Amino acid sequence: MRHRPRRNRASPGIRALVRETSLAPSHLVLPLFIEDGHDLASPIPAMPGVFRWSVDRAVAAAREALELGVPAVALFPRIPDALKDATGSAAADLGGLTQRAVRALKDALPELVVITDVALDPYSSDGHDGVVERGKIANDATLPRLAAMAVAQATAGADVVAPSDMMDGRVAVIRDALDAAGFSDVLICSYCAKYASAFYGPFRSALDSAPKSGAGIPTDKATYQMDPANVREALREVALDEAEGADWLLIKPGLPYLDVIAAVRAATPLPVAAYQVSGEYAMLRAAAERGWVDYDRGLLESLTALRRAGADLIFTYGAVDAARRLNG
């Protein structure tokens, strides 16, 4: 036989030389759940190994990740019910939890890339990413709230603001607000294709951010998050967000949407991010606890699949675990 593909698999050295897709700690972003308090590490039952951190402990967790080569964290706050209201007004508080965490992280670790989430759901008494008016998510009424939120995060020192709300036109409004406030160097990572997925359950439990049931309040997010059946629609969102000034584009969830990641990668020169979401992480952990899957190998294989599909960077709760394994 003249053609023996197995020759390229004969040894670890040969496999490394011809490997098509690389995965390194520098490709990863560690999401951090944060909460008020001091010296707190509250475990999240549905996500073994993941915690809600007080700000001081979040700094320590970020330092560990950075020392392992993970260059960035993304912050997600758990807000007490007493601070939530119908318009999510606490989101733009310069002394709020996210802003305090940003300042602490940048003071302690100036080289760390700090990414902040722009959406009202952690702050909303309705649990939605936008303002609810007469039983609907009011797109245009939400936009100035998101812009004020992004400016507050940039004022605290955020390197990247990441609108995950899926309101139409929000990237342009946020870009204009940031520029007007003197933050033209702050990047926007737009969740350009965030699907109405079943895989977000553990995340919403961690932040108590699920939509609340009540008279006139939608119980799901299907009117603004994307239909899981659609991919061409994602390309429309990409074109709009790119035109409005996005710097990065993010697809969420990850593994169930490899085709979307590949299509977006082919459609744009911008950096493409993928989010390996809480449900994906929880499935790996649950299977590993039962002895059905090797967690470390499964984690690296799934992250490599996201890279192979075209993701330049990956948000993953397994960032520290993966970095340890990649570093040997």
CA–CA distance from 3 to each of 6, 8, 208 (Å)? 9, 11, 57
Q: Which of 156, 25, 145 is nearest to 92 (CA)?
A: 145
CA–CA distance from 229 to each of 119, 162, 260, 311 (Å)? 24, 24, 11, 20
264 CB contacts (<8 Å, ≥6 apart)? 192, 193, 234, 235, 238, 249, 251, 272, 310
285 Ramachandran zone, left/alpha/beta (phi>0; psi -120 to 50): alpha
CA–CA distance from 188 to each of 19, 120, 222, 249, 323 (Å)? 32, 17, 24, 9, 25
Question: If residue 151 lies in a helix (H) or strand (E), which one and from where to where?
Answer: helix 139-156
Q: How many helices (H) and strands (E) are present in the chain, helices listed first? A: 11, 12
Of 84, 106, 194, 221, which is the active-site residue?
194
Distance (Å, whole) CA 83 – CA 138: 21
35 CB contacts (<8 Å, ≥6 apart)? 42, 52, 53, 54, 77, 78, 97
Question: For the CA atoms of the chain, what is the radius of gyration?
Answer: 20
106: annotated active-site residue: no
Of 106, 136, 212, 252, which is the active-site residue?
252
84: annotated active-site residue: no
Residues with active-site annotation: 194, 252
